Amino acid sequence: MSLNNRILHVDGDSFFASCEIALDPKLHGLAVWVGGGRRGDGIVIAANRAAKKFGVKTGMACFEAKRLCPKGVLCRPHYDEYRRLSQEMFRVLEEYSPTLVPISIDEGFLDFTTMDRHVWRDKSPENYVKEIRARILREVGLPVSAGLANSSRLAKLATDAAKPGFIEIKPGEEKEFLKDRSVRELSGIGKNRQRALSALGATTFGEAATLPSIMLKQKFGIWGQQLWLFSNGLWNEPLLLEVKDRTTISSNTTLPYDEPDYEAVLTFIFSEATRLVGQLRREQLQAREMGLTIRFTDFTETSGGHRFREAQFLNSTINAALEAIFRGLMGDQFKSVRQIRIAFWNLRRLDTQPTLWGRTDAERWGALDDAAHRLNTQFGRISVMTGAQLALREMEDSFKNPKAKCPFVPQREMVRKLWGTDADPLAHKGDWEKRLAKVSKQSQFNH
C-alpha cells in the first residue's frame, strides 16, 4: 500500500504572549512576555517576537528580561483565558479535517491524506492552509504557523522551519529538506543518542541517511531503523487518533502563598475535589480510590489515601473521606502548606442516564452537573459554585491583601503584629469554620 500520508502540523506562535495580545489590543506591536511562578514575576514562560529581538528568552528571569528590554510589558499568566482561546483555535481547526489530534494547548495535527481527492482540486494546499491561518488570526486573534509533510514528525520540523509562516514538504522532497538539518531537531532524540550518532559521523539527517541501516538498527534498535527511514524521506506514518479511556484524574495546585492555616488548606482541597469529581461525573465515571499529597514549605511531603468499598460519586461522601485523610496527615504537622495534590483512580462507569425505575441519585447529580457546567461555560468564569468554592473565592480576597499574607514575613511575626500575641497561628482556626458557615448561610439566603 503506498498511500501518501499528508499531515498538517499547526502551532501557535509564542502562544501565551499572543494570547495576552489577543486579550488586550493595547499590547499590539509591543514587546510582550508572560511571567511564570506563583506571582507571575518569576521566569519568562513566553515572549513574543518583538521581545525576542531584544534577547528575551523563555526560562530567563523576568527582571533580566526587563533589563534587556525596558519598554517591554510583563504580563501575569491568565491560564483560564489561554485554555478558552485554545479551544476556539481548535474549534476552527476541526472544521478543516475529519481527524484532528491535539497534542498540547497550542499544537495539533490534522489529517490531510485524502484532501486532494475532496478539497484542493481547485485550490493548492498552500492556499488552503493560508485560509486556516488567516481565519484563526481574524476570529481568535492568534497567529499560528504550520507545516505539511508525509508524517507528523516531519510536519513538526517543517513548522519549526517555517515559523512564522507555512512550509509544505512535497512528496519526494523530504530527503532534500532534511539534508542539512541537525538530528538534534528530532523531538525525543536525547543527548546520548545524539552523542552516539555524532561519534558515527552523523550530526545532520543527510549524514545519518548515508549510514548503513543495519548498523543503525544494531546500535539503536527499532529507533535506529526509523531514523534511517526518516532521514531518507521514507518514513510514512498515518495520523492516529488514540482515544484512551481515562484511568485516573488528578490535580496539582500550588497555593498562592505558603498557607499556615490548615482549615484554609482544607477548603482548597474541598474545592479542587469538587471540581475533579464533577469532571468525572460529566465523563460518566466514579472513583473507588483516591489519594491526597500535601507538600510543605520546605518541600517535604506527606500523603495518604482511601479505598471505598464501592465506587463513589457524591461530593459529600468523597469530601468526608478526604477530610479524614487530611486530619490524619496533619495532626502533628506545623509547617505551612505549599502544594496539594489530589488524585482519583480505580474508576468505574457511572450511569447517569434516566432509568425506567424512577430517578436515581446518579441521574439527579448528572443533571445538576450538566446544568452547572453549562451555566459556567455560558457565563465564563465560575457562576455556579458549591459552598467550598464560594468560601474559597471570599478567601482569595484576603490572599490579595499583602498585609494579611505577606510571603516575606514569617507567619509567627505576622500573628504577633496582628493580634499582639505570640500564640500559635493555628489557634484561631475556628474562625474559619464560623466564616464558612456564615458564607454558606448567606448564599442560601441569596438564592
Residues that bind Mg ion (CB under 5 A): 11-12, 15, 106
In this structure, what are the phi and psi dihedrals at residue 143, rounded to the nearest 5 degrees?
Answer: -80, 135
Looking up cell 481515562 gives 246
Report d(CA 409, CA 171) in Å as an integer. Answer: 63
107 is catalytic: yes
Q: Which of 64, 94, 95, 107 is catalytic?
A: 107
**What's the sign of the alpha-carbon dihedral 401, 406, 407, 410?**
negative
- Measured in whole angstroms, the distance separating CA 349 from the mean position of its chain's CA atoms is 25
What's the min distance (Å) between Cβ of 17 and Mg ion? 10
Cβ–Cβ < 8 Å for 300, 312 = no
141/304 with CB nearer Mg ion:
141
Sign of CA dihedral 52, 58, 62, 63: negative
DSSP classification of residue 405: T
- Nearest distance from C-beta of residue 97 to Mg ion, angstroms: 19
Residue 15 or 262 having the CB closest to Mg ion: 15
Residue type, 6: R
The residue (of 142 and 322) whose beta carbon lies closer to Mg ion is 142
- Nearest Cα to 306, choosing from 316, 296, 320, 286? 320
Distance of closest approach, residue 385 Cβ to Mg ion, in angstroms = 33
Query: Least distance in Å: CB of 80 to Mg ion?
Result: 19
Q: Which is nearer to Mg ion, 15 or 365 (CB)?
A: 15
| Nearest to Mg ion of 45, 372 (CB atom) | 45
Q: What is the DSSP letter of 151?
A: S
Q: In angstroms, what is the C-alpha Rg of the chain?
A: 27
d(CA 213, CA 207): 12
Q: What is the DSSP letter of 302?
A: E
In the bound complex, what is the minimum distance in angstroms from residue 16's beta carbon to Mg ion?
9
Tally of CB atoms within 10 A around 291: 18
- Catalytic residue numbers, as ranges: 107
